[in-house]
Amino acid sequence: MTSNMRPLNSKKGEVPSHGRENCGVSDQAFHGKCQSCDSVGKSPHSRANGVSLKESGTCSFSCDHANALLVDGPKGSPARPGHIDSTNCDQHGCLHAKNESCMPCNDLQEESDREQAGDTLDDLFFFNDEEDDDIDWEPSARLAENRWFCLNCTMPNLDEVKHCLNCHELKGSEVAAGYDVFKTHIARAALVSADTASVLVSTAIGFDERMLLHSEMETKPNPHPERPNRLRAIAASLAAAGIFPSKCALVPPREITKEELVMVHTSDHVESVEQTKNMLYSYFTSDTYANGHSACAAKLAAGLCADLASLIVSGRVRNGFALVRPPGHHAGVKQAMGFCLHNNAAVAALAAQKAGAKKVLIVDWDVHHGNGTQEIFEGNKSILYISLHRHEDGSFYPGTGAADEVGVLDGKGFSVNIPWSCGGVGDNDYIFAFQHVVLPIATEFAPDITIISAGFDAARGDPLGCCDVTPAGYSQMTSMLTACSEGKLLVILEGGYNLRSISSSATEVVKVLLADGPSYGTDAAAPSKEGMQTVLHVLDIQRKYWPVLVPIFASLQAQQGQTSSKYANAENKLKRRMLMGGPGPVWWKWGSKRLLYEILFEGRRPRKSKARGK
């Protein structure tokens, strides 16, 4: 997941790159400024409890100039992937009316009218006039002209281009079109819960359609990367592969309770998310949005993750896949950021411990560091957090996750960060890091359950991650982790913004959970030079806390030394030849033979020495 807000460990004014530069689209294209009112990508707004409250009539691309730039649809209502048609909500059963915290779809217009009539929300929040420092990620209105945004990866393209330059998707193609097939199967899926499970269920899936109602309501020409179609695309892929509902059970959804959330977040943070249900839309940061349904969606996501973890630890379910949003690993103790509202993995870890797990392993392979998860557990030695992510010396969002961030107090050594120094990292580097860092530490830790924060934004073609992990790579990493806790594995969806990539990758991961995936050998992967350097750096730091890494570090260091010596010897030979002169046979280097060569073959007069030339 990503955001352009200032990183937690940076100086004010420094903004880590989100990685789009490797995709050929400059960051300038994503830092918007309204051309009519000179407002930088967002409307004037106030803040309270970390929430930006937006009212009708403010700018934020709603002025006349912006309305002229909408890609499709009538003025004020652009075509946006993932927005639910309120006229079809009851027909499709996308709302559970029993849950009072989730507004019905057909009430959105009434809610909008009520706010426009003068409900300014002053009675709900204490306002201050401090402006947000964040830089908006959305493209400028100027660049929205004569552009179309790919429905698969959200990247902008010129009108004359028919296939997306980033993911090669055909203009206007609908990737999540097969979701309706998945939807028809929901009613026929077997349900599993603590009360109903009498036999062991192989794989359970956590999903609820109300999470699709969490979407960006503000009128903008470009789709937000974290959009409802992410879930639809994965669901459609699972149905097309014959995985759901025939091979998986479904976990009954429930909203997480406040008592469970305050074990992870502060009560102020929980309340600030809850209050968004009273607003048409709001922003915690420039790219972390909420609407009237977001509090419900976030509580559903956390509740599904908690119940899946409990079912797995109790032995009623072997493993599970949480098909949830909004994502969670950036949400810290007291802040929402990076598209995340509540930390789903953290809630699941504590639920697993409540169900009887003494030790929990969290492996986070999202391309962005899970700063929220690390913050929550950095002093807890019963929960081991391992993250593989782009870092680039803190210039990649969120700027945290350096190799020397190892935890604090009793938790030292229980935060393991593998920070890639560049983009483009692929399967071999990830597998190599798993073989030499992740699995040795995990085996020594011996967790009772393994939770994967499975962001698929390191996948090939992702617009924000710009890395090169394939579905086979994700499948192999999942397979390698199944042995860590005797198969008790919970996979929780985090980021991933190329619909083709996340759907194919998630499907391969679920196949591994079902034991339907391909088997992989144990051959050592050949990492890139940068990948080897990163792994060696991590081993050098973590061997102080994990003795199992000491011989691994020594072995790799020796191999690296031999390789370096071989290259150094070849380079030294080349340098010696260059220093001895220009072209010509080797024998010319000595005495009179060199003079003879210069006279006969090059027609040059012998060069005088410095002594003779004085």
Helix/strand/coil for 433: helix
* 18 and 134 Cβ atoms separated by less than 8 Å: no
Instruction: Give the tokens for residue 36.
Output: 């009519």
Give the span between the Cα atoms of 295 and 261, in whole angstroms: 12
Give the span between the Cα atoms of 76 and 106, in whole angstroms: 18
Spell out the SS3 assignment of 367-412. Answer: CCCCHHHHHHHCCCCCEEEEEEEECCCCCECCCCCCCCCCCCHHHC
Single-letter code of the amino acid located at 80: R
468 contact partners, CB below 8 Å, separation of at least 6: 424, 425, 426, 427, 460
* 543 and 556 Cβ atoms separated by less than 8 Å: no
* 335 and 376 Cβ atoms separated by less than 8 Å: no
Q: What are phi and psi of 569, to 5 degrees?
A: -65, -45
Give the span between the Cα atoms of 281 and 269, in whole angstroms: 17
Give the span between the Cα atoms of 319 and 302, in whole angstroms: 17
Model pTM above 0.75: no
* 36 and 69 Cβ atoms separated by less than 8 Å: no
Q: Output the pLDDT for position 570.
A: 54
| Kind and range of the H or E run holding 230 | helix 229-240
Burial (CB count <10 Å: 0-12, 13-18, 19+), residue 614: exposed
Q: Tell me which long-range contacts 591-595 makes (C-beta under 8 A, separation of at least 24).
A: none
Q: Output the pLDDT for position 573.
A: 59
Q: What is the DSSP letter of 469?
A: B
Q: Which of 272, 275, 277, 273 is nearest to 291 (CA)?
A: 277
Give the span between the Cα atoms of 363 and 492, in whole angstroms: 10
Q: Output the pLDDT for position 118.
A: 34
Angle subtended at Cα 598 by Cα 594 and Cα 604, rounded to the nearest 5 degrees: 145
Single-letter code of the amino acid located at 397: Y
Full DSSP string of 237-291? HHHHTT-TTTT-EEEPP-PPPHHHHTTTS-HHHHHHHHGGGGSSEEEEETTEEEE
Q: Output the pLDDT for position 516.
A: 85
609 contact partners, CB below 8 Å, separation of at least 6: none
Q: What are phi and psi of 598, to 5 degrees?
A: -70, -35
Q: Output the pLDDT for position 201.
A: 83
Give the span between the Cα atoms of 302 and 280, in whole angstroms: 22
How many helices (DSSP H) and strands (DSSP E) are in the chain? 19, 14
Q: Is 330 a catalytic residue?
A: yes
Q: What are phi and psi of 94, to 5 degrees?
A: -85, 5
Give the span between the Cα atoms of 506 and 239, in whole angstroms: 12
Give the span between the Cα atoms of 388 and 417, in whole angstroms: 6
* 87 and 152 Cβ atoms separated by less than 8 Å: no
Label residue 187 left, alpha or beta by phi (over 0 means left) and psi (-120 to 50 means alpha). alpha
User: Which residue in 45, 330, 369, 436 is the catalytic one?
Assistant: 330
Give the span between the Cα atoms of 386 and 376, in whole angstroms: 13
Single-letter code of the amino acid located at 395: S
* 20 and 10 Cβ atoms separated by less than 8 Å: no
Q: Output the pLDDT for position 61.
A: 32
Q: What are phi and psi of 104, to 5 degrees?
A: -60, 150
Which residues of the chain carry a pLDDT beneath 70?
A: 1-145, 196-199, 521-522, 562-614
